[in-house]
Chain A
Amino acid sequence: MSADLSATEEGTAHSEAAGPLAAVRRIAVVPAFNEERNIGRLLGELKALDPDLEVVVVSDGSVDRTAEVAAEAGAHVVSLPFNLGIGGAVQTGFRFAWEGGYQLAVRLDGDGQHDPTQLRAVVAPVVGGEADLVIGSRFLSDGGYRSSAARRFGIRVLARVVSWIAHERLTDTTSGFQALNRKAIALFAADLPRDYPEVEGLVMAIRHKLRVREVPVTMREREHGSSSIGTLAAFYYMIKVLLAVFVDLFRRDVVPLDD
């Protein structure tokens, strides 16, 4: 796949704010915890796909060579002194993007399950000015890796609840394959829930009236190592996320809501 991401522009050039993607300062935010075996390939694929896309790898207290491998591949590397968990790691990346003045950020996970060749589809609505936050959803497309039945069930239930809160149909609220414009970067840089940043962050974005859009993607099964959520923990995970989302509905906002 050698096509430049800016090819997206032909299809979505109707927006006045967009401009060609080539002129958009863009960055990929890649949280990684002990991913020395997966990160190199991901960074190589990203570079082949879009040479102008900068990458910041946030090594979340990794004890392997994740940071070295990422630096050798030419990425910006932020090494956290200890493991903050996915929310803290991702937010570090968004703060890097905010302070660096990037107009567009894409989040991809360091385990390689997010396929860079699908990047174009995920960024298109942001580049076209149609959405502030885009989620790559596994459930709008056929095929690809879909994880175990227990996890799928949990993901379905969460999607129902969040859709109900959002008054908008959302199918994959736990997806970490996301594209953000400057407005969304600003929000998540200032305030991103620590424990379940995908689901809680989505609810927060909706509360702040960000335009959220889902696009279909297929995901890959991770190549090396194990996922952070086991099958047995799926149900417990769902309960905890539902509780967190419920509490979030009542919680004071760090970034004021404008209405």
Chain B
Amino acid sequence: MTPLRISIVATIVSIVLLLVVFELIRSRRLRERYALLWLATGLVLVALSAWRGGLNTIARWLGVRSYPPAVLFAVGLLFVILVLLHYSTVISRLADQNTILAQRLALLESRVAERD
């Protein structure tokens, strides 16, 4: 069985995560497009932390017999990897766009300079 204390602490931490994400969206420091994965992470972690029977059942399915909260860590880690992968794609796109902007600006500057 999952120790009660772990369930309580994990639930609180997950709810705090959700609240922080929501506040970041609200204050426009995080666009909701990029926040969807974080919201999903928070919701799944809240569900697994608070629903102790579910966590034990999933752990049994997966063959984790000694310590069910290990599933919580595994799921959390999986989501962190997904978020990082998502950010890598976002950064790649920003880098491409940055190149295009720099090229456009330089071309414009040279045209303006030649006109003077």
- A residues with a Cβ closer than 8 A to B are 81-82, 194-195, 240, 243-244, 247, 250-252, 254
Instruction: Point out the residues of chain A lying under 8 angstroms from B97, CB to CB.
Output: 81-82
Cα-based distance from A250 to B26 in the complex (angstroms) = 6
The reply to whether A81 and B28 form a contact with Cβ atoms under 8 Å apart is no
Of listed A82, A243, A254, residue having the most chain B CB within 10 A:
A82
Beyond A81-B101, A82-B100, whether A251 also contacts B31 by CB under 8 A is no
**How far in angstroms is the closest Cβ of chain A from B84?**
22
Per the CB 8 Å criterion, the residue count for chain B at the interface is: 14
**How far in angstroms is the closest Cβ of chain A from B39?**
8
The reply to whether B27 and A247 form a contact with Cβ atoms under 8 Å apart is no
B115 within 8 A of A: no
Instruction: Point out the residues of chain A lying under 8 angstroms from B100, CB to CB.
Output: 81-82
Partner of B32, one of A82, A247, A252: A247
The reply to whether A251 and B28 form a contact with Cβ atoms under 8 Å apart is yes
B75 within 8 A of A: no
The reply to whether A247 and B28 form a contact with Cβ atoms under 8 Å apart is no
Instruction: Point out the residues of chain A lying under 8 angstroms from B31, CB to CB.
Output: 194-195
B111 within 8 A of A: no
Instruction: Point out the residues of chain B lying under 8 angstroms from A254, CB to CB.
Output: 28
